Structures are given as C-alpha cells and as structure tokens.
C-alpha cells in the first residue's frame, strides 16, 4: 500500500488558537478515505492547509513523493491534488461546460500568444477536452444543462459539477469537503454512486462528511479528528465503536 | 462640418481603443484600472518626445508607446500583488495623478504645462487637407487589429481563465491556474493598448499638455464600457462610439435651451450624460450588448477538418 498523501505533525494556529495540533495520517492510493469529526475539529482547516490556501506553521505534507507544504495553491493543484469547497464555490457566470473545460490540464491555449495567434496544439487540445467534458457531463447527467451558468444550478447540481471538475482535472487525489451538504436523499445517493467512479479512474479521494450512512457505504478507511488531532483510524465499524470517538461526538457522560 | 465629423470619428476610435483596453481587464479579469488616463498619457508623451526631441520616425514613437504603456502596467500590477484587489484601483488612480504631475513639473523633459507642440503627423505636409481622413483610416485600422486581438483572447482558453479569475480568483488558483501571471500579462497588454491610443492621440492633435489627461477620461471610458456591455469587446466598442455621439450631441442640445449661462450649459451637459447612462443601466443592466455565454460545441457537429 503506497502512501499518496502523508501528513506529519501538521500544525496551524489562528490568532493564538491552535486549530491543528499535530496532525499525523496518511492516505493510501486508490480508495475513498473518510475524514470525520465533530464541528471545530479542524477538518476544513486541514483541507485549506493541504491545498495550499493556508500555509502550515509546522509539520510536513508529502504528496506523491514531493513536499508540498507551503506551495501556492495552483502549484499544489498542478502537482495532482485538487479540492472542492464545503459551500460549492465556482464561477457563477461561467457555464457548466466552461467549468469543466477550465479544469482540463496542460492547455496550450492558456498562453497569451497562442490565444492570440491560435495554434494547432491549442485547437487539438481544446477539441480533446471538449469531448471529455461532454462525456463527463453525460455521466453526471448534467449534459442537458451544459450551457447553463453555474448560478442557475441547484445546490445538488453544483455538487455534481464539483465532482465533474475533479474528474476533468484527472488529479491523483481529490479532497472533497462535504459533497452531500444540503442535498436531498435521492441526489445524495446519486452523488455517492458517481463518487465511486473516481477510484475506478485512478483518482483517490479524501472526503469530509457528516452523513454517517454515506461514510459507512463509501469510505474505507475512516479517519476521525477531534480538537486538531487524529483520534482514531480504521474501518468504519471499528472507529464507530471506539470509546474515544463516542466521547468526542456525544460528550463524556453519554459515552 | 466634414472635418468635425472626421474629428468625432477619430476621437471615437481612440475612445474605442481605450474601451477595449479597459474591457480586457475589467470585463475580462475583473481588475479595475482607475488610471487609464495615466497609461494613455504615458503613451502620448513617450511617442511625442521620441518623435520631436528624439527626431525618430513616427512608427518608432508608436512602438515605444506600446512598450512604455506595457512596462508601466507591469510595474503597477506587480507592485500591488501583495495587496487586496481593491487596492489596485487606488494605486492606478494614484499612478495617473503621478504621471500628470510629473508631466506638469519635469519641465526639462516634458516642457511642463506648456505642453509639447509640433508633434509630427504621418505624411502631414504631403497630405494637406487629406490628413484628417487618412488619419481616421489609420486609427480605424489599428482599432480593427486590436479588436480582433482582444476578441481572440476573449474566446480562447486564456479568456476562459480570465473570466474564472474575475468570478473567484481563489478557486481559479485551486483549479491550477497561476493567477498572478494571468493578471500581470493581461494588465500589461491592456496598458500597452492604452499607451498606443495615447500615441495615436498625440500625433493626431499634434499638441499634448498635462491637463489633457484628466481622470475624467477614465470615467468616460468606464461609462462607455458599462453602457456598452462589460465582458464583450463589441459592446465596449459600441459603447465608446455611443459615448462620443452623446458627448457631442449633448453640446448641441444644451445650446437649444434659452436663457442659461455658459457655465450652466456645461453643467447641464454632464447631467444629461449621467441621466442617459442611468437610463441605459436601468433598462439594460448588462449594457446594450451584455456578455454572452458561448455555447458548448456539440459533439455531433464536431467533424474533423
């Protein structure tokens, strides 16, 4: 089992408050790893630090054989680690198609002179990406909405589009922040089903989720965080029966 | 009368260049440049000085204006990268004032408030009265080239990234786009276009002085782009010509009102322009030619060439 992502003693404080207090864990290549924990455990901060939006105070982040701690977000992304946001964030006035195309890698047409002059390489890449974008849109059943701006999508469709963006980017690892937050149960199941496609395409997943049913169905292993540290790690059943985890979620007396 | 129309058409073309310049960064990448008049002045002075004091050919002056505008734009963006985005607006506003004050006070170089006169026009002596129509053709040709250029950018993957940056720069960065590079390049290109417009202006008027580059020009161009349609080059162009038409026709309209002083007339002219803009934005919030979302190419129609 190769370690795709390896965090060692990761620390980050905000205004004197220690949010991450030495996080150690690793994510293996090829599966869906769940990250759970009560509110305020530091899960989203961890995503922010790993994706480069917030530099760590201390500790190291190894990803796919290189240290990425403190790298700018675009470099982290190009190294093959893409993230989504808890409240689906995108580009309100860009269409579904434009969102998907934007996430395509290695686009020669993104250099100024090739944009102006045009080049065969840019045209070919654009056509290849367009084909992929259509394929992904159909897979997510967003093809009927392909020219709609993101602001016209429902919350669930935005979440599906985030998965589409991750597929389009072909990363090695994608960090999903609550892929089913605020989504109805039917669409929740659909999102879960679509998520299973990611590892099949060689994309490993680390996801934050509060829906335990969803975690139980999809994730193995599960990592539990509380108060800025890893509390437990393992299969869902084992983790659920861990007394420390029960205490963190329910409080001492209930446990 | 013909000369007056030619003058309006030429000035409209120059405003059109400035509008395309502003639309590239404002409509494209969501960056605000309140110092457009400053880059316009940099180009005008660069070309005027090179061709008068430096006795260089006019084309060399125009080339220098492009380079000087672009470099100034690069310096301004790179010096604001660590600041929040709204500060770029303030820095550009300050930049334009600095340019104007330097032009007014560094007399050894710019001849101060006296301005620079005798700026040569292309084949001016040989053309005589034909100079104005020929110059209009030159301006329109440059405008055409710049229009094609910015529209190509607008429709390219590069333009797609710019739009993403406009909508949410952080998400664009998470998507793997080097946001700073895109911003710096685009701003420099936009400033270079403004500089070129300045040079074309200087050689058309044959005289420039610091008080020809007041912030009012920048405001006018913002009106043109907002009214015409942000995020669409054709909209910016239409907006610029409509603005020119409005500015000039307002002059005649206020003449028709009896029993007011010249000062009141001037104020009324500004008021009229403001009312028209408010009406346009009330009735067509995206401008006259709002931004369109390009349709995705349909796979079935995607035949091999």
Contact by Cβ (8 Å): B290, B284: yes
Judge whether A144 is closer than 8 Å to chain B, CB to CB. no
Judge whether A173 is closer than 8 Å to chain B, CB to CB. no
What's the pLDDT score for residue B82? Answer: 75
Judge whether A110 is closer than 8 Å to chain B, CB to CB. yes
Residues 6+ apart with CB under 8 A from B17: B139, B142, B143, B146, B193, B194, B196, B197, B200
- The answer to the question of residue B289 being in a domain is no
- The answer to the question of residue B295 being in a domain is no
> Mean pLDDT, chain B, as a whole number?
90
- The answer to the question of residue B242 being in a domain is no
Q: Can you give the residue range of the structural domain that contains B197?
A: 7-214
Measured distance CA(B8)–CA(B3) in Å, rounded: 9
- The answer to the question of residue B1 being in a domain is no
Measured distance CA(B134)–CA(A95) in Å, rounded: 44
Indicate whether A252 pLDDT > 90. no
Interchain contact, B295 vs A101, CB within 8 Å: no
Measured distance CA(B206)–CA(B208) in Å, rounded: 7
- The answer to the question of residue B220 being in a domain is no
Q: How far is CA B174 from the centre of its chain?
A: 32
What's the pLDDT score for residue A1? Answer: 56
Before A221, cis peptide (omega within 30)? yes
Calculate Rg over the CA atoms of chain B. Answer: 20
Find chain A residues with C-beta within 8 A of B294's C-beta: 95, 98
Pick from A74, A85, A94: which is nearest to B176 by CB?
A74
Interchain contact, B157 vs A115, CB within 8 Å: yes
pTM given for the model: 0.89
Measured distance CA(B246)–CA(B238) in Å, rounded: 12
- The answer to the question of residue B153 being in a domain is yes
- ipTM reported for the complex, 2 dp: 0.87
What is the rounded average pLDDT of the residues B176-194? 94
Closest chain A residue to B158 measured between Cα atoms?
A110
Chain B: nearest CA to A95, how far in angstroms?
7
Judge whether A138 is closer than 8 Å to chain B, CB to CB. no
Element of type H or E holding B187: helix B179-205
> Mean pLDDT, chain A, as a whole number?
90
Indicate whether A186 pLDDT > 60. yes
Query: What confidence tier does B10 reach under pLDDT thresholds 50, 70, 90?
Result: very high
- CB half-sphere exposure, B302, CA atoms < 13 A: 14
pLDDT in tens, A57-78: 999 999 998 999 989 999 999 9
Domain count, chain B: 1
Measured distance CA(B160)–CA(B156) in Å, rounded: 6
| Chain B stretch 142-201, residues whose beta carbon is closer than 8 A to a beta carbon of chain A | 149, 152-153, 156-161, 163-164, 167-168, 170-179, 185-186, 189
- The answer to the question of residue B47 being in a domain is yes
More confident residue, A210 or B141: B141
pLDDT in tens, A96-120: 999 999 999 889 889 998 988 888 9
Percent pLDDT > 90 in chain B is 56
Find chain B residues with C-beta within 8 A of A83's C-beta: 174
pLDDT in tens, A135-146: 999 999 999 999
What is the rounded average pLDDT of the residues A249-254? 65
Indicate whether A34 pLDDT > 90. yes
């Amino acid at each position: 089992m190769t370690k795709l992502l390896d965090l060692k003693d990761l620390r980050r404080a905000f205004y004197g408050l220690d949010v991450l207090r030495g996080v150690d864990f690793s994510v293996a290549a090829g599966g869906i790893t769940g990250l759970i924990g009560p509110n305020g455990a530091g899960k989203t901060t961890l995503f922010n630090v790993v994706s480069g939006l917030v530099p760590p105070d201390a500790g190291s982040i190894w990803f796919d054989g290189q240290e990425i701690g403190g790298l700018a977000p675009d470099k982290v992304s190009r190294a093959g680690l893409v993230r989504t946001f808890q409240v689906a964030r995108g580009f309100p006035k860009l269409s579904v198609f434009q969102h998907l195309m934007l996430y395509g890698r290695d686009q020669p047409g993104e250099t100024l002179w090739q944009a102006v002059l045009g080049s065969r390489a840019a045209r070919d890449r654009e056509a290849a990406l367009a084909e992929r974008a259509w394929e992904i849109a159909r897979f997510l059943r967003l093809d009927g909405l392909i020219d709609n701006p993101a602001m016209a999508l429902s919350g669930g469709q935005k979440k599906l589009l985030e998965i589409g963006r991750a597929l389009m980017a072909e990363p090695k690892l994608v960090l999903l922040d609550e892929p089913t937050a605020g989504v109805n149960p039917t669409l929740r199941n659909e999102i879960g089903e679509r998520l299973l496609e990611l590892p099949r395409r060689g994309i490993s997943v680390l996801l934050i989720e509060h829906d335990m049913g969803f975690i139980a169905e999809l994730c193995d292993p599960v990592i539990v965080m509380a108060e800025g540290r890893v509390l437990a790690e393992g299969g869902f059943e084992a983790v659920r029966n861990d007394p420390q985890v029960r205490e963190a979620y329910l409080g001492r007396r209930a446990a | 009368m013909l000369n007056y129309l030619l003058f309006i058409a030429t000035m409209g073309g120059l405003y059109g260049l400035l509008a395309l310049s502003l639309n590239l960064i404002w409509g494209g990448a969501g960056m605000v440049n309140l110092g457009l008049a400053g880059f316009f002045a940099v180009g005008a002075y660069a070309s005027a000085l090179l061709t008068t004091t430096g006795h260089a050919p006019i084309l060399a002056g125009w080339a220098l204006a492009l380079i000087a505008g672009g470099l100034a734009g690069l310096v301004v963006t790179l010096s604001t990268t660590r600041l929040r985005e709204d500060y770029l607006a303030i820095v550009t506003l300050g930049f334009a004032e600095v340019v104007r004050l330097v032009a007014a006070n560094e007399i050894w170089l710019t001849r101060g408030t006296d301005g620079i006169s005798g700026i040569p026009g292309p084949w001016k002596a040989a053309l005589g009265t034909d100079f104005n129509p020929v110059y209009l053709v030159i301006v329109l040709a440059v405008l055409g080239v710049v229009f094609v250029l910015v529209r190509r950018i607008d429709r390219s993957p590069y333009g797609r990234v710019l739009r993403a940056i406009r909508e949410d720069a952080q998400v664009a960065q998470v998507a793997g786009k080097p946001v700073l590079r895109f911003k710096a390049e685009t701003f420099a290109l936009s400033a270079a276009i403004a500089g070129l417009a300045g040079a074309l202006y200087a050689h058309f008027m044959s005289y420039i002085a610091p008080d020809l580059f007041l912030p009012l020009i920048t405001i006018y161009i913002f009106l043109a782009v907002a009214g015409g349609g942000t995020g669409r080059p054709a909209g910016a162009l239409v907006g610029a010509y409509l603005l020119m038409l409005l500015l000039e026709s307002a002059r005649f309209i206020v003449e028709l009102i009896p029993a007011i002083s010249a000062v009141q007339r001037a104020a009324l002219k500004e008021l009229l322009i403001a009312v028209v803009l408010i009406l346009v934005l009330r009735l067509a919030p995206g401008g006259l030619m709002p931004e369109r979302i390009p349709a995705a190419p349909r796979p079935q129609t995607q035949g091999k060439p």
